[in-house]
Chains A and B, each alone.
Chain A
Amino acid sequence: MMSYRAFQTGWGGLVALFLLFLPMIVPEMKIHLATEILIFALFGISFNLLLGYTGLLPFGYAALFGVGAYAAALMFNHLPGTPLVVTLLIAALAGLLTAIFIGSFCVRLRGTYFALLTLAFQMFLYTVAMKWRDVTNGDDGMGVIRPEIDLPGFGNLSLMNINNLYYVTLLIVVLGILAAYLFLKTPLGNAVICMRENDERASFLGYNVFLTKLTVFSFAGFLAGAAGGLFVLFQEFVSTTTIDVHMSFTIVLMVIIGGKDRFLGPVIGATFFLLFQDWISDVTVYWWLFMGLFFIVVVLYLEGGLISLLNLDRVWLWVNRQEK
């Protein structure tokens, strides 16, 4: 009988191989889609650190994504020689600093008040992006040129090649998701889960509720900022759509549809959401109507989201029964 551990590793290996060889399997258009899915997977994982693990639902989460996006776009345009890693790190840091600022007001609150105050900050930043035309070019947005990266051993790789961009995105997203995963396994990550479970009792055990929530909010902002930076690199364009209400609610929908109770739920959510959007927007212009209906169905009848349908434990039991 195969051990559960080996079974899990096997599945992980298959997924890894699939992602590595994807550009050889599917046409280029689908690699565009896959890159976008990866970016939103990271964005969703960072969002779910708050929703699923801390028990905080931010309605204005695009603020952190958008600040990262604008930071990256400004770097690409004004300091074009900067190594890509540095630019993305600055995007992530912009997300982090914004999160520290917004978070220091918001994480004192709970529930609806927390949700709405984050929304207020996002609306504020949206207005800045809209009105500060000298820097952001307002609602016309800014085009950016994807840089070349100098990889030792490979020479200069052009990110205009979508396959190269896909691999760069894959690497960064996997590192980001891994960081989030390991974070949750540390004592600090456990403290974050205590905030969701019962922050009052936690404080009576000596946990500093404000600082713990601010820390996870900032870490989420770091990852969201990085995702925003990748999104600009992918779109070759930044505009207020990266920081508007629509973006904020898209990520809420993605994560809830995917499932907030399991770590990879947001990845499933991003994958489904963007695949569905890609397919149905060919069929009808009213695709949001169908997404909305789907959301209602999930909320009513599938509390754990789509990932609750994917139960590896059950597959494992089934496989073992076949072997006997």
Chain B
Amino acid sequence: MTLLRLQEIFKDFSGLQVLFGISLDVTEGERHAIIGPNGAGKSTLFNLITGLYKPSSGNIFFSDKDITGWPVHRIARTGISRSFQVINIFPEMTLFENVRNAIVSKVNRRFNWGSLLNRSEDIQEESDRIIELIGLTDVRDSPVSELSYGKQRQLELALTLARDPVLIMLDEPTAGLDSEETRAFVQLIKQVTEKKTLVVVEHDMDVVFDLADRITVINYGKVLATGSPDEIRENEEVKEAYLGGK
């Protein structure tokens, strides 16, 4: 079943055309990587799907709902969750409080003013479960600004997962990690996103071929090719535009 469908998406920023009619299907349970050179429009595509930008034309469907033009928070609530290329967390809170912010939203108590947050045991337990899942229990009460970069990356992933989303979108999850850390982090991603639908933008080709079972290559705002990792590896056009450079 198709979970996410992009239909002829165009996007321009005050005259600068970035996307030229992107169409893309993501099937439920699929691990879909989007690759392409710098400036190809990958990040723009991410921001369109998650509601930060509105497409100039074209439609986005999620579980057969037309979500084109929905505000960010509504798209998040409908089950699409994303991480960020640059660490994007709540800097003056502890790790626990960071994760708790996501859990409060998950249990739809964002607007509750009739209970005390630190007496809400269900929220605390769920937060601790996520922290344990991601393997950060030992730094649960540390202010996140004091955590190492690698641990902040893990938190970035935890915030994305905590809402128990239907579709997980990771924007360069291993950016800034060294090869050793990257390997461990990919293992973690695999483990915590098992059986979920995943869309990932990544520059590191080892990561892409390790994680993805389908790959879409974007170049100059158009889909160049889409297919299994093997098909992409053998595709002449892709080799020329992107992989060939390596």
Which residues of A approach B to under 8 Å, CB–CB? 182-183, 185-191, 193-194, 197-198, 200-209, 211-212, 215
**Surface stretch bound by A, among B57-65, B113-121, B197-205:** B113-121
Interface residues of B in 79-96 (CB under 8 A from A): 81-82, 84, 88-93
Q: Are B90 and A201 in contact (CB under 8 A)?
A: yes
Contact residues in A for B162 (Cβ distance below 8 Å):
205
**Chain B residues with Cβ under 8 A from A204's Cβ?**
50, 72-73, 76, 81-82, 88
Q: A177: shortest Cβ distance to chain B, in Å?
A: 16
Q: Contacting B110 at CB < 8 Å: which of A182, A185, A193, A212?
A: A212
Whether A198 lies near B116 (C-beta < 8 A) is no
Interface residues on B, range: 35 or more
Among residues of B, the one whose C-beta sits closest to the C-beta of A204 is B76
- Output the nearest chain B residue to A209 by Cβ-Cβ distance: B73
Q: Are B112 and A198 in contact (CB under 8 A)?
A: no
Report if B104 contacts A (CB, 8 A). Answer: yes
What are 27 inter-chain pairs, A to B, with CB distance below 8 A? A182-B116, A183-B113, A185-B117, A186-B112, A186-B113, A186-B114, A187-B109, A188-B111, A188-B113, A190-B104, A193-B93, A197-B92, A198-B90, A201-B84, A201-B88, A201-B89, A201-B159, A204-B76, A204-B88, A205-B162, A206-B106, A206-B110, A206-B163, A207-B73, A207-B110, A212-B110, A215-B111
* B105 touches A (CB below 8 Å): yes
12 new A-B contacts, CB < 8 A, other than A187-B104, A187-B123, A203-B72, are A185-B117, A186-B114, A189-B113, A194-B101, A200-B88, A201-B84, A202-B90, A204-B73, A204-B76, A204-B82, A205-B159, A207-B110
- A220 CB to nearest chain B CB (Å): 14
Q: Which residues of A sit under 8 angstroms from B71, Cβ to Cβ?
A: 203, 208
**Contact call B163/A190, Cβ cutoff below 8 A:** no
- B117 & A194 in contact (Cβ 8 Å cutoff): no
List the interface of chain B (C-beta within 8 A of A). 50, 71-73, 76-77, 81-82, 84, 88-93, 100-102, 104-106, 109-118, 120, 123, 159, 162-163
CA distance A204 to B82 in the complex (A): 7
A257-B210 Cα distance, complex, nearest whole Å: 56
Instruction: Provide the bound-state CA to CA distance between A191 and B89, in Å.
Output: 14
**Min C-beta distance of A103 to chain B, whole Å:** 16
- Min Cβ gap B70→A in Å is 12
Report chain B residues within 8 Å CB of A183.
113
Residues of A within 8 A of B89 (CB): 198, 201
Chain B residues whose CB sits within 8 angstroms of the CB of A187 once the complex forms: 104, 109-113, 115, 117, 120, 123
Chain A residues, CB < 8 A from B101: 190-191, 194, 202, 205
Summed over the interface, the residue pairs from A and B with CB atoms below 8 Å come to a total of 90
Residues of the A chain whose Cβ atoms lie less than 8 Å from the Cβ of B84: 201
B-chain residues with CB within 8 Å of residue A197 when the two chains form the complex: 90-93
A208 lies within 8 A of B93 (CB) = no
A202–B73 alpha-carbon span in the complex (Å): 8
A205 lies within 8 A of B105 (CB): yes
**Chain B residues near A203 (CB-CB < 8 A):** 71-73, 76
Chain B residue with Cβ nearest A208: B73
- Which residues of the partner chain B approach A209 to less than 8 Å between Cβ atoms? 73
Q: Which residues of B contact A200 (CB under 8 A)?
A: 88
Complex Cα–Cα for A189 and B100 (A): 13
Q: Is the CB of B91 within 8 A of A186?
A: no
- Smallest CB–CB gap between B93 and chain A, Å? 6
Tell me, rounded to whole Å, the shortest Cβ–Cβ distance linking A307 to chain B: 17
- In the bound complex, do residue B90 and residue A185 qualify as a contact, i.e. CB atoms below 8 Å apart? no
Chain B CB within 10 Å, residue with most, of A193, A203, A212? A203
Cα(A193)–Cα(B113), bound, Å? 14
Nearest neighbor of A184 in chain B, beta-carbon distance: B117
A205 to B90, CA, bound (A): 12
CB distance B88 to A206 under 8 Å?
no
| B121, chain A: closest CB distance, angstroms | 13
Min Cβ gap B171→A in Å is: 11
For A193, the chain B residues whose CB sits under 8 A away are 93
> Which residues of B lie under 8 Å from residue A191 when comparing CB positions?
101, 104, 110-111
Which residue from chain A places its CB closest to the CB of B111 in the assembled complex? A188
> For the complex, what is the distance from the CA of A188 to the CA of B109, rounded to whole Å?
8
In the assembled complex, how far is the CB of residue A212 from the closest CB belonging to chain B, in whole angstroms?
7
Cβ-closest 9 pairs across A and B: A197-B90, A206-B105, A188-B113, A206-B76, A186-B113, A187-B112, A203-B72, A187-B109, A206-B77
For B110, list chain A residues within 8 Å (CB).
Answer: 187-188, 191, 206-208, 212
Complex: chain A residue closest to B104, CB-CB: A187
Q: Give every chain A residue within 8 A of B50 (Cβ-Cβ).
A: 204
In the complex, how many angstroms separate the beta carbon of A265 from the nearest chain B beta carbon? 16
In the complex where A185-B117, A188-B113 touch, is A194 in contact with B73 (Cβ < 8 A)?
Answer: no
Nearest A residue to B100 by beta-carbon distance?
Answer: A190
